[in-house]
Amino acid sequence: MKILAFETSCDETSVAVVENGKNVLSNVISTQIDIHREYGGVVPEIASRHHIENIMPVFTEAMRQAKCSLDDIDYIAVTNTPGLIGSLLVGLMFAKSLSWANKIPLLPINHINGHIFSNFIENDIELPAVSLVVSGGHTNLYYIDEIDKEIKITLLGETLDDAVGETYDKIARVLRLPYPGGPEIDRLSKNGKDILQIKKPKVEEYNFSFSGIKTYITNYVNNEKMKGNTISKENVAKSLQEIVSEVLSEKVLKVMKNMKVNTILVSGGVSANGRLREKFREISEKENVKVIFPKLEYCTDNAAMIGCAAYYELKNKGMYLDNTEDNYKVDAISTKGE
Ligand code: KG4
Ligand code: ZN
């Protein structure tokens, strides 16, 4: 089964063709990072306009690389929430038009589900599993199990304030590093020392909080500046990497032990982080559990993960959707679950 997938929720225009939820025939990503860097973050209006310019060439290239025509496509999947409204609308309207004109059923997909299923691309996953999604807008912890041939995803916890990626990006701004801050901090930390005494946030159950860490580092940088001291960006970066990987892995370990889970899935833009990957590798060896990270191209926003999530949603429904009109009547934008 071939699914043509679209992802335009933020500043990446991406189109992919995914076969049977695992085999990525193409995954073309056009990123606008260089355009938004000038402003220190994503400007929604600019992002929407670039999606309009990019969607047609990206779609054409994805079909060319996958060596297929629309006749070969069984379903069209598209991110419909959460994200920037103008950006989402571009992908959604394009996908809807293709679906309607070619009578190919349309599947609306939640962006976070896309990140969860990015771990399933090219991997055989043993369930139950604990899934940690760490992106620019979300820090969510899930329990995933298969019951009666249906994959059930249960939200266990989430951030009560800032997301991890957001924390990286905001601290990078304080350090006057370019957007997006995550990869910059990851790179600088390699030459730094963990010198800041950042306290672990006290958050109940499986929830997270990162605003205290952000405030601590912001105050540290401002105080040192006022005293006329030079700051080692490398040391600040290293200290942030240590506290973040400690906080995230601690909660995952808690779920693993309480719920007797032996598979850990980590996904989302921040799952590209070097220290986080290293930390979970250590856990994998120490606890004898399987830890799965997506390939780097499936960590940050991409359409392959949307195609993969769509495949599993279909599987949950018994792989069945008829070609009645209802399949083309997808709500423009759902605001549920944001
Ligand atoms: O998943 P994603 O592409 O978009 C959202 O759904 O939000 O994640 C983007 C986030 C940004 O905050 C970016 O700084 C962060 O992922 N990120 C990283 C790294 N690469 C991207 N954070 C830490 N280390 C990285 N290597
Ligand atoms: Zn994302």
8-state DSSP, 300: S
Q: Output the pLDDT for position 323.
A: 54
pLDDT tens figures, 211-236: 999 999 999 999 999 999 999 999 99
Closest CA relative to residue 231, chosen from 184, 193, 181, 274: 193
Q: Are residues 276 and 142 in the same domain?
A: yes
Q: Please, what sign has the CA dihedral across residues 252, 254, 258, 260?
A: positive
The model's confidence at residue 75, banded by pLDDT at 50, 70 and 90, is very high
Tell me the C-alpha distance between 271 and 249, whole Å.
12
| Number of the ligand 1 atom closest to the C-alpha atom of 138 | 7
Q: Is the CB of 91 under 6 A from ligand 1?
A: no
The lowest-confidence range among 165-174, 183-192, 277-286, 323-332 is: 323-332
Q: Output the pLDDT for position 288.
A: 96
**DSSP string of 59-79, one letter each residue:** HHHHHHHHT--GGG--EEEEE
pLDDT tens figures, 121-152: 999 999 999 999 999 999 999 999 999 889 99
Q: Is the CB of 137 under 6 A from ligand 1?
A: yes
Give nearest CA residue, ligand 1 atom 1: 269
Kindly identify the ligand whose nearest atom is closest to the C-alpha of 248: 1
Would the pLDDT of 34 be above 50? Answer: yes
Q: How far is the CA of 306 from the centre of ligand 1 (A)?
A: 17
Would the pLDDT of 36 be above 80? Answer: yes
The model's confidence at residue 333, banded by pLDDT at 50, 70 and 90, is low
Q: How far is the CA of 306 from the centre of ligand 2 (A)?
A: 10
The model's confidence at residue 318, banded by pLDDT at 50, 70 and 90, is confident
Q: Is the CB of 11 under 6 A from ligand 1?
A: no
Q: Is 260 left (phi over 0), alpha (psi -120 to 50) or beta?
A: left
The model's confidence at residue 22, banded by pLDDT at 50, 70 and 90, is very high
Q: Is the CB of 114 under 6 A from ligand 1?
A: no
Q: Output the pLDDT for position 148.
A: 86
147 Cβ neighbours under 8 A, 6+ residues apart: none
Residue at 273 is within a domain? yes
Tell me the C-alpha distance between 4 and 308, whole Å.
10
Q: Are residues 158 and 272 in the same domain?
A: yes
Q: Is the CB of 118 under 6 A from ligand 1?
A: no
Kindly identify the ligand whose nearest atom is closest to the C-alpha of 177: 1
Q: Are residues 211 and 139 in the same domain?
A: yes
Q: What's the domain count of the chain?
A: 2
Would the pLDDT of 328 be above 60? Answer: no
The lowest-confidence range among 226-230, 289-293, 330-334 is: 330-334
Would the pLDDT of 182 be above 60? Answer: yes
Q: Are residues 161 and 253 in the same domain?
A: yes
Q: Could you tell me whether strands 129-134 and 263-267 are parallel, antiparallel, or unpaired per DSSP bridges?
A: parallel
Specify the higher pLDDT residue, 147 or 317: 147
Tell me the C-alpha distance between 90 and 11, whole Å.
12
Domain housing 72: 2-116+299-328
Q: Is the CB of 184 under 6 A from ligand 1?
A: no
Tell me the C-alpha distance between 277 and 254, whole Å.
18
Q: Are residues 87 and 107 in the same domain?
A: yes
Q: Is the CB of 269 under 6 A from ligand 1?
A: yes
Q: Is the CB of 29 under 6 A from ligand 1?
A: no
Kind and range of the H or E element at 311?
helix 304-316
Identify which of 7, 270, 280, 296 to mutate to test ligand 1's pocket (most ligand atoms within 8 A of the CB): 270
Specify the higher pLDDT residue, 324 or 273: 273
Q: Are residues 105 and 197 in the same domain?
A: no
* 20 CB neighbour count, 10 Å cutoff: 11
Q: What is the mean predicted confidence (pLDDT) over 64-80?
A: 97
Residue at 324 is within a domain? yes
Closest CA relative to residue 78, chosen from 321, 313, 338: 313
Q: Are residues 200 and 288 in the same domain?
A: yes
185 Cβ neighbours under 8 A, 6+ residues apart: 168, 171, 172, 175, 177, 237, 240, 241
Q: Is the CB of 210 under 6 A from ligand 1?
A: no
Whether the Cβ atoms of residue 198 and residue 216 lie closer than 8 Å to each other: yes
Q: How far is the CA of 32 from the centre of ligand 2 (A)?
A: 14
Crossing angle of helices 211-226 and 233-259, rounded to 10°: 160
Q: Are residues 67 and 168 in the same domain?
A: no
Closest CA relative to residue 92, chosen from 76, 78, 81, 103: 78
Kindly identify the ligand whose nearest atom is closest to the C-alpha of 240: 1
Report the mean per-residue pLDDT for the chain.
94
The model's confidence at residue 163, banded by pLDDT at 50, 70 and 90, is very high
Whichever domain contains 274, its CATH number is: 3.30.420.40
Kindly identify the ligand whose nearest atom is closest to the C-alpha of 180: 1
Q: Are residues 264 and 308 in the same domain?
A: no
Residue at 21 is within a domain? yes
Tell me the C-alpha distance between 9 and 109, whole Å.
11
Q: Output the pLDDT for position 149.
A: 85
Q: Output the pLDDT for position 337.
A: 44
Q: Is the CB of 135 under 6 A from ligand 1?
A: yes
